[in-house]
Amino acid sequence: MEILTLIAIFLGPIVAVQVSQYLERRRQKHAGKEWVFKTLMRTRSTVMNPAHIEALNMIDVEFYSRNKKDRSVVAAWKLYLDNLGDYRTPDDVKYAKRNDLFLDLLYSMAQALNYDFDKEHIKNTSYIPQGYVDVEKDQHLIRKGMLGILKGDMVVPIHVTNGGGGDQP
């Protein structure tokens, strides 16, 4: 009995530290998954947002596991990533499929993290002000126009008019 007491006294603190470390690793792993999911949910209407891209790139790391639900997240991510890198398919077909694949990815994450969200909830509960959409479109057009001018693909039309004022003939 004394030997068992000594073993318990000796091993007790070691086991307690090991259990504590194990629980902390589990908490950190879950927190990483939560961060990825919440970031993608928060930025699902602004896919060019750097935080959105960062979260996508962390899926493989954060959801790496033997767990079936985590593996389904990684599988959904691979399908979505394949679509993102597809330069052969016509844009209209690719973009329609892309939205469905992204929705599947978010849904599989919700399932893995035990959120009771269905696909319609994920799809229809995002808000982005129209003004933000307009500014993004305008900035895109301006960038494309400037690039076209710099490449020589576009010209800037110039109209000369008589100002009607001053000493100039």
- Residue 32 burial (CB count, 10 A): 14
In a 13 Å sphere around the CA of 110, the CA atoms on its Cβ side amount to 17
Domain of 21 in residue numbering reads as: 2-151
d(CA 116, CA 19): 30
User: What distances in angstroms separate CA 130 from CA 71, 118, 138, one per listed residue?
Assistant: 37, 25, 12
What pLDDT, on a 0 to 100 scale, did the predictor assign at position 24? Answer: 83
* Average pLDDT score over residue span 64-84: 95
Domain count, the chain: 1
Q: Is 112 inside any structural domain?
A: yes
Q: Is 35 inside any structural domain?
A: yes
Q: What is the pLDDT of residues 9-38, one digit of tens each?
A: 888 888 888 888 888 888 888 999 999 999
Q: Is 84 inside any structural domain?
A: yes
Q: What is the pLDDT of residues 4-17, one digit of tens each?
A: 888 888 888 888 88
What pLDDT, on a 0 to 100 scale, did the predictor assign at position 76? Answer: 97
Q: Is 25 inside any structural domain?
A: yes
What pLDDT, on a 0 to 100 scale, did the predictor assign at position 79? Answer: 96
| Helix H or strand E segment including 84 | helix 68-84
Q: Is 168 inside any structural domain?
A: no
- Residue 7 burial (CB count, 10 A): 10
d(CA 167, CA 169): 6
Q: Does residue 92 contact residue 86 with C-beta atoms inside 8 Å?
A: no
Q: Is 164 inside any structural domain?
A: no
What pLDDT, on a 0 to 100 scale, did the predictor assign at position 164? Answer: 60
Q: Is 161 inside any structural domain?
A: no
What pLDDT, on a 0 to 100 scale, did the predictor assign at position 165? Answer: 57
Q: Is 167 inside any structural domain?
A: no
